[in-house]
Structure 1
Amino acid sequence: MKTIKLSATDSTNSFLKDLSQNSTLENFTTVVTQNQTKGRGQQQNKWVSDPYKNLTFSVFISFQDLKVIQKKYLNFAISLAIYNVLFTKNLPKPSIKWPNDILSANKKICGILIENTFSGDRIKNSYVGIGLNVNQETFPEYLNNATSLKLETGIAYDLDILLPTVLEEIKKNIKLLTSKKFTLLEEKYLDVLYKKNIPTMFKNSKDEIFMGIISGISDFGKLQVQLEDDTIKEFGLKEISFL
């Protein structure tokens, strides 16, 4: 497993994608930087991270036989890998917030961005970007729901030790994925899904507020919510938010 360390870059995902277009990459090649200047999150959001304090890295994963329709299981595998590592750190109430934010209680500690290339009906390569808040102790005011390992546990972590631990867990879960252990991955993901089976207030893309209960994830990775009339409605990433 090759690791490329950069002192600074705009985006580790962008760097890794450019690298893969110009060379043949070993599976699980990882790019990690001490200072990511233009980190990206879901929905074109920015990922803000203080230099030298956190883990900002991307992993290249190639697949031989993963269908596009099975994409949600890739998300399960990566999310669970980060969750599993953080669970060992005795965080308060760790969970996965759909689709792949990792929370401690109600605060975000890790964000994941998965970008794929395709060949026909198969996923060819994935670029898995991860921003894990580790030793950062203050965040901008507009990130009032952000937290870090140090804030939650009172412990400062060695980034050079933590990164290989995370990468090994990713490799283990990708092995489950390529072995087609889809049911196991889904069960584990749903077991730790934030607010699952709990009556919750949501807001849709029309700013309508409604009560619902998260019941599962559809075949296409959409969030399934049971409404007050007991019907199940499915929502994409930009179609629903927690109130």
Structure 2
Amino acid sequence: MIGHPFYILDEIDSTNNYAMQQVNSGQVTSGTAWFTSNQTAGKGTRGKQWLAQPGDISALTIALQPAMLPLSRQFMLSVAVALGTTDFFTSHAGDETIIKWPNDIYWRDRKAGGILIENVLRGNIWQYAIIGIGLNINQAAFPPELPNAVSLRQITGKTHQAADLAKELCTFLDKRIRQLQPANYETLLAEYTSRLFRWQQPGLYRKDGEIFEGIIRDVLPDGHLCLEKNGEILQLGFGEVEFIITR
């Protein structure tokens, strides 16, 4: 089960780094989770830094042996984790919780968190997935350089016990990951797509320095985004397009 065992670390540079070290040492069982409320050098997607404040749930990492998935279907793990995280956040923040492709968690048009999955491969064998999840929980305010961020405290007006929420998140993830069977792939991908930020709605994007209006039409099984631009469908991989957020 996801979150069994569950370890709380007083302070760590990155729970993803720590989990990777534990996996490489051979001292981990699938489903192990690590949480800290004081992460000093967290990692985001494409090398970005994820800064966690004390009491933030952003430092939650799970080591998973993805035996239920072939390596060719690795995007489905991202789908399941995004859905589980969205289920969890929705249970506290309401139905305006959505997914910004490929794996950011949004509330309305503001970023509430993100997901980073790193893989441990031995040849063509997918041995482990290191699943890092960052959610803004107890921040009362954000610095000016993060104008698009939002926390659960800002949404609900309540402070939360971050470790308890991390354990609760594990139960939502466990449910979704158990659904990762071939018969469910199409249904899971359809649900993921329908819960996307800007799904079937016009929005501004930047690609190769050009800003244009586009409409998200689909997400392919390998994770590529199908974005309509002037009647043409662009198939875009991770990092190839930027969402322009205007307020």
TM-score by length of structure 1 reads: 0.94
Q: Deviations over 1:55-82 (max 9, x none)?
A: 4110000022422221111111000001
The answer as to whether partners of 2:37 and 2:162 remain within 8 angstroms in 1 is: no
> Deviation of residue 53 (structure 1)?
3.8
SS at match of 1:89: helix
**Aligned position for 1:155:** 158
1:35 paired residue among 23, 35, 38: 38
**Inter-partner Cα distance in structure 2 for 1:89 and 1:179:** 30
Q: In percent, how many aligned pairs have the same letter?
A: 29
Question: Whole-Å Cα distance in 2 between the matches of residues 166 and 178 of structure 1?
Answer: 21
Structure 1 residues 53, 13: closer, same or farther in 2, change over 3 A?
A: closer
Secondary structure at 1:66 match in 2 = coil
- Identify which range, 210-219 or 165-174, moves more after superposition: 210-219
Shift in alpha-carbon separation, 1:212–1:14, aligned structure 2, 3 A: same
Matches within 5 A, 1:1-243: 1-91=4-94, 93-178=96-181, 180-204=183-207, 206-228=208-230, 230-243=231-244
1:189 deviates by 0.4
Q: SS state of the match for residue 203, structure 1? A: strand
Measure the CA separation in 2 of the matches of 1:113 and 1:60: 12
1:191 CA displacement: 1.5
- 1:170 positional shift: 0.8
- The CA distance in 1 between the partners of 2:7 and 2:182, in whole Å, is 28
- CA contact under 8 A between 2:36 and 2:57: conserved in structure 1? no
Q: CA deviation at 1:122?
A: 4.6
Q: How many residues align?
A: 241
1:61-105 per-residue CA deviation (whole Å, 9 max, x = no partner) reads 002242222111111100000100111113462110001100111
How far 1:179 sits from its partner (Å)? 5.9
Question: What's the Cα RMSD here?
Answer: 1.6
- 1:180 offset after TM fit, Å? 4.9
Maintained 8 Å contact 1:83/1:95: yes
CA contact (8 A) 1:66 1:122 kept: no
C-alpha separation in 2, matches of 1:85 and 1:119:
33
Task: Measure, in 1, the Cα distance between the counterparts of 2:93 and 2:210.
Answer: 37
Give a deviation string over 1:184-228, Cα, whole Å, max 9, x none: 211110111010100112110x21112211011123211111121
> Structure 1: which 4+ aligned runs deviate by more than 6 Å?
none
Query: 2:113 is paired with a residue of what secondary structure?
Result: strand
Rounded to whole Å, the distance in 2 between the matches of 1:30 and 1:173 is 16
Which ranges of structure 2 fall in alignment gaps of 5 or more residues? none
The answer to whether the 8 Å contact 1:91/1:152 transfers is: no
Contact 2:33 2:60 (8 Å CA) reproduced = yes
Which runs of no fewer than 5 residues in structure 1 stay unpaired? none
Judge conservation of contact 2:57–2:165 (CA < 8 Å) in 1: no
SS across alignment from 1:26: coil
* Secondary structure of the structure 1 residue equivalent to 2:235: strand
